[in-house]
A and B are shown apart, each in its own frame.
Chain A
Amino acid sequence: MLTITIDRGQEEPVYAQVARQVRLLIASGALASGTTLPSVRRLAGDLGVNLNTIARAYRLLEEEGFLVIRGRSGAKVSAPAREVEHSTQEKLLEELRTTLARLRQAGVTSDEIAEMVWLELLGSDDGDKEN
Chain B
Amino acid sequence: MAEVIVVNMFLWVRVFLVGGIFIMFPRITRKGLFFGVYMGEEFGRGEAARAVLRAWDRGCGMVMASALVVGLIGTAAGNAVAGNLTGTAVLLLGCTGLYFRTYGKVKALRPPDVEQQAGKATATLQVGRPGGETFAKITLVGCLVVALATVIHAVLSYPSMGDRMPTLWSLIGGTDGTTEISYLTILYVPSWNLVLAPLFAVLALMISTAKRSLREGPGSRSAEAQDAFRKTNANIFSGAALLICALLTTFSVQVVEIGRGEASSLGPEMLWPMGAIILGGLLSLVVIIRRVGQGGALMERGSSEGALTGGLADNAHWVGGVIYFNRDDPSLMVENRFGIGYTMNWGNVTSVLFTLFVWGLILTLIILGFFL
Q: Which chain A residues have a beta carbon within 8 Å of chain B's beta carbons?
A: 1-9, 22, 25, 31, 35-38, 41-51, 74
B interface residues, how many (CB within 8 angstroms) = 30
Query: Are B330 and A5 in contact, with the CB atoms below 8 A?
Result: no
In contact, A7 and B122 (Cβ under 8 angstroms): no
Which of A1, A22, A38 has the largest number of chain B CB atoms within 10 A? A1
20 further A-B pairs in the complex, CB-CB below 8 A; given A6-B121, A9-B116: A1-B223, A3-B123, A3-B214, A3-B219, A3-B223, A4-B123, A6-B120, A7-B120, A36-B127, A37-B127, A38-B125, A38-B126, A42-B209, A45-B209, A46-B310, A47-B123, A48-B211, A48-B329, A49-B121, A51-B330
Contacting residue for A5 out of B116, B120, B209, B331, CB 8 A: B120
Closest A residue to B224 by CB, please name it: A1
Contacts of A36 in B (CB 8 A): 127
C-alpha spacing A46/B214, complex, angstroms: 8
User: With A1-B218, A1-B220, A3-B223 as given contacts, are A45 and B121 in contact (CB-CB < 8 Å)?
Assistant: no
Query: B residues 167-221 with Cβ under 8 Å of A?
Result: 209, 211-212, 214, 216-220
The verdict on B42 contacting chain A, using a C-beta distance below 8 Å, is no
Within 8 A of A (CB), among B316-333: 326, 328-331
CB distance from A48 to the nearest CB of B (A): 4
A46 and B126 contact, Cβ closer than 8 Å, known pairs A1-B219, A3-B218, A51-B330: no
Residues of A within 8 A of B131 (CB): none
Q: From B119, which residue of chain A is reached at the shortest CB distance? A: A8
Question: Chain B residues in contact with chain A, CB under 8 A?
Answer: 116, 118-127, 209, 211-212, 214, 216-220, 223, 309-311, 314, 326, 328-331
Q: A5-B309, A51-B330 are in contact. Are A46 and B220 (CB under 8 A)?
A: no
Please name all residues of chain B whose beta carbon is closer than 8 Å to the beta carbon of A45 when the two chains form the complex: 209, 211, 329-331
Q: Is the interface of A mostly helix, strand, loop or mixed?
A: mixed
Chain A residues, Cβ within 8 Å of B212 = 46
The reply to whether A1 and B124 contact each other, CB–CB distance below 8 Å, is: yes
Set of chain B residues within 8 Å of A37, measured between Cβ atoms? 125, 127
Residues A3 and B119 in contact, CB atoms below 8 Å apart: no
Q: How far is the CA of A43 from the CA of B125 in the complex (A)?
A: 8
State A1–B227 Cα separation when bound (angstroms).
13
Least distance between A23 CB and chain B CB atoms (Å): 12
How far is B125's CA from A7's CA once the two chains are assembled, in angstroms?
17
Contacts of A44 in B (CB 8 A): 330
5 CB-based A-B contacts, threshold 8 Å: A22-B125, A38-B125, A41-B330, A46-B211, A50-B328
- The complex places the Cα of A36 from the Cα of B219 at a distance, in Å, of 19
- A5 / chain B contacts, CB cutoff of 8 Å: 120-122, 216, 309
Q: With A22-B125, A25-B125 in contact, do A7 and B119 touch (Cβ < 8 Å)?
A: yes
Closest-by-CB residue of A relative to B334 is A48
Contact B218 A48 (CB under 8 A): no
Chain B residue, CB-CB nearest to A74: B127
A46 touches B127 (CB 8 A): no
A45 to B310, CA, bound (A): 10
- Contacts A1-B219, A3-B223, A5-B216 given; does A46 touch B123 at CB 8 Å: yes
In the bound complex, residues from chain A placing their C-beta under 8 Å from that of B120 are: 5-9
Q: Which residue of A lies closest to B317 (CB)?
A: A48
Q: Which of A25, A42, A47 contacts B121 (CB 8 A)?
A: A47
- Cβ of A46 and Cβ of B121 under 8 Å apart? yes
**What A residues does B311 contact at CB under 8 A?**
48
Instruction: Write the nearest CB–CB distance from A37 to chain B, whole angstroms.
Output: 6
Asked whether B328 lies within 8 Å of A48 as measured between CB atoms, the reply is yes
User: In the complex, what's the smallest C-beta–C-beta distance from A21 to chain B, in angstroms?
Assistant: 9
Neighbouring B residues of A1 by C-beta, 8 Å: 124, 126, 218-220, 223
A42 to B280, CA, bound (A): 31
A residues in contact with B310, CB < 8 Å: 46-48
Within the assembled complex, what's the spacing in Å between the Cα atoms of A6 and B331?
17
On chain A, the residues within 8 Å of B127 by CB distance are: 35-38, 74
> In the complex, are the beta carbons of B223 and A48 less than 8 A apart?
no
Residue of A nearest to B127 (CB): A36
CA distance A5 to B328 in the complex (A): 17
Q: Are A4 and B122 in contact (CB under 8 A)?
A: yes
Cβ of B121: which chain A residues have Cβ within 8 Å of it?
A: 5-6, 46-49
Shortest Cβ distance from residue A64 to the other chain B in the assembled complex, whole angstroms: 17
